[in-house]
Amino acid sequence: MINVTIWNEFVHEKIHDAVKAVYPNGIHTALAQGIQQDGFAIETATLEEPEHGLTEEVLNRTDVLIWWGHMAHDKVSDDIVARVKQRVLDGMGLVVLHSGHFSKIFKALMGTSCDLKWREAEEQEIIWNVNPSHPIAEGIGEKIILDHEEMYGEYFDIPTPDEIVFISNFEGGEVFRSGCTFRRGRGKIFYFRPGHETHPTYFHPGVLKVIANGVKWAAPAPGEALRFGHSPQPVREFAKGSVV
């Protein structure tokens, strides 16, 4: 069983009618319903909950955290960001969606500005599967077509990804590294671009399939915790240049 926590600001849906019309119960609810399947135990958390819903208890039982944020990045407590970052370093998976690229947690883990070009427009996005043997691309085919999405364009100021799984192109001619993986400590991170709040992107079966695949890929692998710091001299017997 993979324990998944979906975090969403849940701000747009309360104050913007255009967003409320698409996601009346919040983006987190649409995601929870959309990726639900055998083997996933899903809970949600939002900005206005105590400790943003990301208490130590919640994070300690979370295998993979999904993050969507946009207009309230600055409202997220630095203490909670540090808590989430440590959990990722300790092995918790992190799936960052769309405008979560500018979240405090993603920037803290990337160490760069994570800035990009953007254009809020009604234009087609083609998400090309450029790494079809990758587990995140399983069952996707050669591309996903979204008729209406916001444009993100290069340069995307992130470290060189460990792997690029998807690349998008848009009607204006821009391209974007829209599916990237990273490893930090024992944790695995997947960034996936689509998901503008005024479009029903999180009802698209291909997009939901990718996110679910990302959760499975990012789930922690079994193993001992990483050990750092002073290491005492091991007790060994030496025999003329060789270790016995």
Split at pLDDT 50, 70, 90, the class of 241 is low
pLDDT digits (tens, 9 = 90+) for 210-228: 999 999 999 998 777 778 8
Mean pLDDT over 40-49 rounds to 97
Closest residue by Cα to residue 139 from 65, 203, 212: 212
User: Do 10 and 29 touch, CB atoms closer than 8 A?
Assistant: no
159 in a structural domain: no
pLDDT for res 204: 98
pLDDT digits (tens, 9 = 90+) for 134-148: 999 999 999 999 999
Q: What is the DSSP pairing of strand 93-97 with strand 187-192?
A: parallel
pLDDT digits (tens, 9 = 90+) for 151-194: 999 999 999 999 999 999 999 999 999 999 999 999 999 999 99
Mean pLDDT over 50-65 rounds to 97
Cα separation, 101 vs 92, in Å, equals 18
70 in a structural domain: yes
The DSSP letter of residue 70 is: S
Percent pLDDT > 70 in the chain is 97
In terms of DSSP H, where are the helices of the chain? 12-15, 17-22, 27-35, 56-60, 78-90, 104-110, 205-218
Q: How far is CA 243 from CA 236, 237, 238, in A?
A: 7, 7, 5
Mean pLDDT over 66-82 rounds to 97
Q: How many domains does the chain have?
A: 1
Cα separation, 60 vs 105, in Å, equals 17
User: Do 178 and 145 touch, CB atoms closer than 8 A?
Assistant: no
Identify the bridge partners of residue 175 per DSSP, sorted by sequence position.
169
Closest residue by Cα to residue 118 from 99, 132, 139: 99
208 in a structural domain: yes
139 in a structural domain: no
pLDDT digits (tens, 9 = 90+) for 115-124: 999 998 889 9
Mean pLDDT over 13-17 rounds to 94
Return the ∠ at Cα 42 (arms to 37 and 43), rounded to 5°.
160
**Residue 21's CATH number:** 3.40.50.880
Crossing angle for the helix pair 27-35 and 205-218, nearest 10 degrees?
A: 80
Domain interval for residue 80: 2-111+178-223
187 in a structural domain: yes
Q: Report the mean per-residue pLDDT for the chain.
A: 94
